[in-house]
Amino acid sequence: MNEVFLAGCGLACALGKDIPSALRMLQAGGVAPQSLSVGPALAWPYFAIPDPQPDWYARARHLCQQVVMESSANNRNIPLFIASCSLNIGAFEDGTAPEEDCLQFSEMLTEWLAWQGPVYWISTACTSSSNAILAALSCLRNGHAQEALVLGVELINRYTCAGFGAMQLLDTRRPRPLAADRAGLVLGEAVAALRLSCETSPWRICGGANVVDGCDPAGARAEAVSQMCQRALADGGANADDIDLIKLQAAGSPGNDPIELEGLREIFPQLPSLISFKAEIGHTLGASGAAELALLTACIDQRIWPAARYATDPAFNAGFAPRLPAVRYLMSNILGFGGGHATVILEHRS
């Protein structure tokens, strides 16, 4: 099989509209979530991209074009893997969306990018862009292409936020993953582009896995987390003790945070260094796999690390790495609705 590398990244998130801006803001202490009104006298914290354009489609087009340009995806004839949960629901809320189905929105997005290559839309809830990475990895490994682009798109809308709120899954203030007083997640928006290539770069995508366990459609299961890790390590040709850093899902859920750690400890009796970005950019749903991986690799490359703002629950006997660890192999987890448990393993070749 061909080796596959992460050749370029683009990211727009609450920290900034590009990776350098996001890193500067992260180094300065990050940003607090804004307030998103979802109904009369009802609002939830929300991590929004700092781009105030009033027209939903103009804003979406600008952000998608910008992150693709930042990733240096200049070849428009390669496969494109679009990952999204909410698509253009925000435009329907604003009354600017024509009558169209999901396929038509994907076609609109490809027109914005003047894309000529094959296009795939992947929507598996929160694991969407992680599964898009795995699909693109398979495509390149098996020689179907030499380069591919993964585009995670999750943009602001009230419908999704209201739905999570109705399920009592949202926190009323900044999320606190792994904290004793964690009270739920906070949503956010992100657009992220990952350019995968068979040409050598410092970041090799070793492998990954997606495990679907529907026993708890709205939550994670420790058994599935363990199975996900086992399959990913086997796929990537790595051992558990090779992993130096795990980017957790850890969104601040009272139930899912401990379940993720429980599942990891079945594979990693001594946990590696840990990090989560949900307190920095929120849970960006279908874009989170791509967005958090873009941010994580940029942090390691530029040696910038988020500062700890609170103590983690002592009952976990686990905390976030206070400083950038030495990293050769990392694992990046995303867990989501529908029983999705997905992870990707990368090797950093200095």
Same domain, 132 and 70: yes
* Residues in the chain, overall count: 350
Domain count within the chain:
2
The model's pLDDT over 182-236, given as tens digits with 9 standing for 90+, comes to: 999 999 999 999 999 999 999 999 999 999 998 888 889 999 999 999 999 999 9
Q: From the CB of residue 244, how many other CB atoms can be counted at a distance below 10 Å?
A: 16
307 pLDDT band, cuts 50/70/90, is confident
Same domain, 218 and 193: no
Residue 6, judged by CB atoms within 10 A of its CB (0-12, 13-18, 19+), counts as buried
Same domain, 335 and 274: yes
Of 28-37, 56-65, 111-120, 308-317, minimum mean pLDDT range: 308-317
Same domain, 190 and 240: no
Q: Which of 166, 197, 228 is at the close of a domain?
A: 197
Query: Does position 117 have pLDDT exceeding 90, yes or no?
Result: yes
Percent of the chain beyond pLDDT 90?
Answer: 91
Q: Is the pTM of this model over 0.75?
A: yes
Average pLDDT over residues 287-306: 98
Same domain, 246 and 316: yes
Query: Does position 98 have pLDDT exceeding 90, yes or no?
Result: no
Same domain, 224 and 114: no
Same domain, 167 and 257: no
Average pLDDT over residues 254-270: 97
pLDDT at 308: 83
Q: Where are the beta strands (DSSP E) in 22-118?
A: 34-39, 42-47, 80-83
Same domain, 190 and 212: no
- In Å, how far are 130, 187, 249, 350 from 277, measured between CA atoms? 15, 12, 8, 24
Phi/psi at 202 (nearest 5 deg)?
A: -65, -25
Same domain, 271 and 124: no
Same domain, 135 and 222: no
Average pLDDT over residues 269-282: 97
**Containing domain of residue 273, as a range?**
203-348
Q: Which of 197, 219, 247 is at the close of a domain?
A: 197
Structure tokens at 23: 């890193």
Same domain, 145 and 250: no
pLDDT at 218: 82
Average pLDDT over residues 84-89: 93
Q: Which of 177, 197, 217 is at the close of a domain?
A: 197
The model's pLDDT over 325-342, given as tens digits with 9 standing for 90+, comes to: 999 999 999 999 999 999
Same domain, 32 and 172: yes
For residue 106, give the CATH number of its domain: 3.40.47.10
pLDDT at 102: 74
